[in-house]
Structure 1
Amino acid sequence: MAKLIFVNLPVSDLERASAFYQAIGAVKNEQFSDHTASCMVFSDTIHAMLLTHDKYQQFTSKKIADARTTSEVLICLSADSREAVDDVVGKAKAAGGALDPTPQQDYGFMYGRSFEDPDGHIWEVMWMDVEAAAKAMAAPAHA
C-alpha cells in the first residue's frame, strides 16, 4: 500500500480556505469534512486537512503560528510540466493567493514557483525533467 500524507493546516475561515483549495484543483472529500475540518484531496496520496483553530488546538498544546509572519513549513507539490506549474500558481492568484513569496527557481531542467494561501501557508509547485537533472548532476563542475 502506498503511504499517504495528510498535511494539517490551521485556517481562520474554513469556508474561504476550502474554496481556495478547490479553486487550485483540490477536491473536497465530504466523508472527512464537517463544520470544523475540510479534507482537500490533491491526489490518491496527498491530502490537506484544513482545520479551524479550535479543531487544530485539539491536536497540540502549542501556539498556532501566524503563517503570514512566521515560517512554519514549506510544502511542495510536483507538477507534470512548466506550464502546469504556472497554471496552478495562476489559479492560486485568481483565488486570492499571493504569488511567489519565495524566489522562483529556473534551472532549465527544474522549474518552480510558489504561492501563499489566504492564511499565509506557503506552497511551492515544482516541475523537474528527471533525465536532464541526472545528467546535470553527473556532469563535472567547471572551474
Structure 2
Amino acid sequence: MKKCLLLCALVSPFALTGQAIAGANTAQLNCSGSHAGQAISLVGAIPASIVEVDLKLTYGAQTLGLASPQAEATERTDFRRGIFKLDVALPGANRLQLQAQPKSIKYKGSMGGGKLNASFVATIQEAPEPFKAVLKGAELRCSYAYDI
C-alpha cells in the first residue's frame, strides 16, 4: 500500500461526470501562491480511482500532512463543466476545502483518454488548523496532471 503524506481522496464514479476512470493511477496536484507575505503550497498525488491521497500543505515555514486514515477526502472533477472541488475532513471539525474558479479552468485531454492536464485558480474555502484563520480566502494557482 502506498505511503500517504497529505490527504486521502475518495473519487466516486459520479465525481468524473462523463469521464471514465482508468486504472488506479494518480493525478498530480501542484498549487502555489502567497498570502500575507508568506508562500503557500498544496502539492501531492490525488489518486484517480482509489481512496488514498498524498498531499502536503505548506504556509511559510509550517507544513501539514493530510493523509489516510486520519483524513477523509472527496474530490469532484469535471473540467468540461468548470468544476474542481477538493474537500478533506480531518478529526473534529477540522477540514481543507479547495475550489477552482470555474472561468479560470483550462484543460487539455481527458481521463478516459488516459491523459489530462489542467490549470486553474483555486480559492481555499476552509483551511485546517494551524492555518484556519489565516488561509481562508487565499488564492492559489494550480496545475493538475493525470497520465496513465
| Fold shared by both chains (TM-score > 0.5) | no
Between Structure 1 and Structure 2, the one with more helix by share is: 1
Q: Normalising by structure 1, what TM-score? A: 0.30
Structure showing greater radius of gyration is: 1
Bigger relative contact order, structure 1 or 2, given CA contacts below 8 A and separation 6+?
A: 2
